[in-house]
A = this chain, B = another copy of it.
Amino acid sequence: MKQDNILGERKIIEIIQNNLDKMPKMPIPFGDDVSAYNLTNQTLAILKTDMLVGKTDVPKAMSLWQAARKAVVMNISDFAAKGVKPLALMVSLGLARGLSKKDIQEIGKGLNAGAREYGTYIIGGDTGEASDLIINISVFGTAKKADIILRSGAKPGDIVAVTGTFGKTAAGLKILSENLKAPENIRKAFIESVLMPHARLKEGLALSQTKAVSAAIDSSDGLAWSLHELAKASHTGFLINKLPTANEAETFAKTNKLDPAELTLYGGEEYELIITIKPELWQKAQEATAKLGTKLLPIGKATKQKHILLRTNTETLIIQPRGYEHFKTNTI
């Protein structure tokens, strides 16, 4: 039985999936950022559900308002990656006994803030008792079949790009959990990136209009892990030649004798989009996000060879399929 204790999140998902009958003609396969149902020949209902759990997803410094808002943001981020507008949200709350009226108000206000930030509403839900804070959000939207961006469309030669820099959240989590030091203004920005994540919804919607994006995923499981998932679904590899490390993360790494590449690749809880772009449409994609004030950062290319590699000035390294994973972390 000891062996069973190290079942990781991905293995668990695999076991569950293997025991489910597959809906015939499922328009989006298991394992993409969202799921879909054929509404008409051209239109899909898009569904997403994701659960925030107090113990694993809510650092101590995070308020109930922030936790509730984050539960919304992490779900919206998956819609952003697929270029789908969220139309309505449902919420299931599991609450420990003894929360005050003010606590519950905070949760309500946080849910609402998250929904309104992305132009949508909570339209219903359910509340029950649980041992820990549980906030499950379900998102509903619709999309034209032709418009949806899957994980599986990357082709060798496509440009790999991200919608922002990486490393700040990992640094923020280290400051919060390991009490590492940083200059006050940087410290604030790092912690803010943990407590107040933002989903790249506008960018995702604009990119989907360009038809330039061949595949996309959100980076919530970390840059490295998400690259591996994208490559696996697309049957490609990636050659990364420029890590999108945030300047502040670089400085922080230096001061604390950490590897900036480690902070960038293996952090997680960062809600950027990782996309592959048809080279001939690169400019169009870049312009689409530039209009929103977001610089698209090219970080490498999709390759026929199925390795996920990082080329630096001096060497070529393998990017490991590591990232934040529930269950397995700390278990062995």
Contacts and interface: CB of A to CB of B under 8 A. Distances in A.
A88 B35 contact: yes
Contacts of A32: 124
A219 interface: no
A123 B36 contact: yes
Contacts of A49: 49, 90-92, 124-126, 136, 138
Interface string A105-133: 10111011001100001111111111110
Given A37-B87, A49-B91, A130 B140 contact: no
A142 interface: yes
Given A121-B20, A122-B20, A5 B35 contact: no
A47 B140 contact: yes
Interface residues of A, number: 77
12 contacts: A9-B129, A12-B99, A19-B109, A37-B88, A45-B88, A47-B124, A47-B138, A48-B90, A49-B125, A57-B128, A90-B138, A134-B136
Given A12-B93, A134-B134, 16 more contacts: A4-B99, A7-B101, A9-B127, A16-B91, A16-B107, A20-B108, A32-B124, A35-B125, A39-B142, A47-B124, A49-B124, A49-B126, A50-B92, A53-B129, A55-B129, A129-B326
- A-B pairs with lowest CB-CB distance, top 7: A35-B124, A19-B108, A23-B121, A4-B100, A129-B326, A138-B138, A51-B92
